[in-house]
């Protein structure tokens, strides 16, 4: 069973996202917990969320993947930015409790000159302040391209964060195919090797979601520019091998490709056709 979907806007509410994804032909989706520029969020209507939960259950959707704000930087050198990040994380996780059993993924952060070690330690501190054993959400660190001072551009860095978090059972990883490629992992010629390396360093048991993107740039470019499936450096054959790899089976695949609605519908159809050829 492939769970495939894309990012949707939460503007029309939660239940509406379920219907939109069905219209797109998919069976999971992602959304930003707040507008990308940060700032205040609309209060959540619990009835709307309830309606979504019963809809996705009825339609047998895979786990849903909320995405934390890009402005949330838990390891900035600026204490004000870190403080805002902590507040966002706290609010987002409180809100996620309305959608029990789903996933919340975020970019670990950029250390903005303090060094990777300091970054890792600040991210782990932030998680230790916010992850609770009674939480029903799994929090995912996203694999990053290693752009600028980003933390999480190697599996080892993610492992370091995880090692320092007490409530580790609530922690997983979201594998972004564009980012790992841009970070230097060879998903074209050595997919098995990359996933074995992931397993050795982090453990495949932590891999809970995939961001399914082609990349505009060469391997190791550290750029982070997503491309439509099959139109980038990874290419359609590699994307197909990733989608069908047994180590990734059963997890939600989220498209973050530069598309309009029709493009997402086409890509969802393509991915589903790999599973059921003919």
Angstrom CA distances, 36 to 42, 162, 219, stand at 13, 26, 27
From the list 119-127, 191-199, 220-228, 229-237, the region that binds Zn ion by CB under 5 A is 220-228
What gap in Å lies between CA 1 and CA 257, rounded to an integer? 22
Q: Does 176 bind Fe ion (CB under 5 A)?
A: yes
Report the nearest approach of Zn ion to the CB of residue 144 (Å): 8
Q: Which residues contact 277 (CB under 8 A, 6 or more apart)?
A: none
Q: Which residue is nearest to Fe ion (CB)?
A: 211
Question: Binding to Zn ion by residue 267, rule CB under 5 A?
Answer: no
Q: In sequence order, what are the residues at sequence separation of 6 or more whose Cβ sits closer than 8 angstroms to the Cβ of residue 140?
A: 65, 103, 104, 105, 106, 171, 172, 173, 174, 208, 209
**Residue 260: CB atoms within 10 Å:** 7
Min separation Cβ 57 and Zn ion, Å: 30
Indicate the residue among 18 and 68 with the shorter CB distance to Fe ion: 68
Kindly state the smallest distance separating residue 226's Cβ from Zn ion, in Å. 6
For residue 150, state whether it binds Zn ion (rule: CB under 5 A): no
160 interacts with, out of Fe ion, Zn ion, none, CB within 5 to 8 A per kind: none
CA 253/CA 103 separation, integer angstroms: 12
211 sits near Fe ion (criterion: CB under 5 A): yes
List 157, 160, 182, 224, residue binding Zn ion (CB under 5 A): 224
Residues contributing to the site for Zn ion (CB under 5 A):
224
């Amino acid at each position: 069973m492939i769970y495939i979907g894309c990012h949707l806007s939460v503007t029309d509410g939660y239940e509406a996202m379920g219907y939109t994804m069905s219209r797109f032909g998919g069976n999971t989706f992602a959304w930003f917990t707040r507008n990308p520029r940060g700032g205040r969020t609309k209060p959540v209507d619990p009835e709307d969320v309830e309606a979504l939960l019963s809809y996705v259950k009825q339609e047998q959707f895979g786990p849903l993947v909320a995405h934390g704000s890009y402005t949330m930087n838990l390891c900035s050198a600026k204490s004000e930015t870190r403080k805002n990040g902590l507040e966002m994380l706290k609010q987002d996780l409180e809100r996620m409790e309305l959608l029990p059993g789903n996933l919340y993924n975020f970019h670990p952060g950029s250390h903005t000159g303090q060094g990777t070690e300091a970054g890792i330690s600040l991210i782990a501190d932030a998680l230790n302040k916010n992850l609770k054993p009674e939480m029903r959400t799994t929090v995912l660190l996203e694999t990053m391209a290693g752009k600028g001072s980003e933390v999480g551009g190697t599996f080892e860095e993610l492992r370091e964060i995880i090692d320092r978090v007490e409530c580790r059972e609530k922690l997983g990883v979201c594998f972004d195919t564009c980012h790992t490629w841009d970070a230097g992992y060879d998903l074209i010629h050595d997919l098995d090797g990359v996933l074995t390396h992931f397993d050795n360093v982090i453990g495949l048991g932590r891999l809970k979601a995939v961001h399914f993107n082609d990349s505009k740039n060469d391997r190791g470019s550290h750029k982070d520019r997503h491309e439509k499936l099959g139109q980038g450096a990874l290419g359609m054959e590699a994307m197909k091998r990733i989608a069908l790899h047994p180590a990734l089976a059963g997890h939600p695949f989220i498209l973050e490709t530069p598309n309009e609605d029709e493009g997402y519908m086409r890509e969802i159809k393509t991915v589903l056709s790999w599973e059921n050829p003919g």
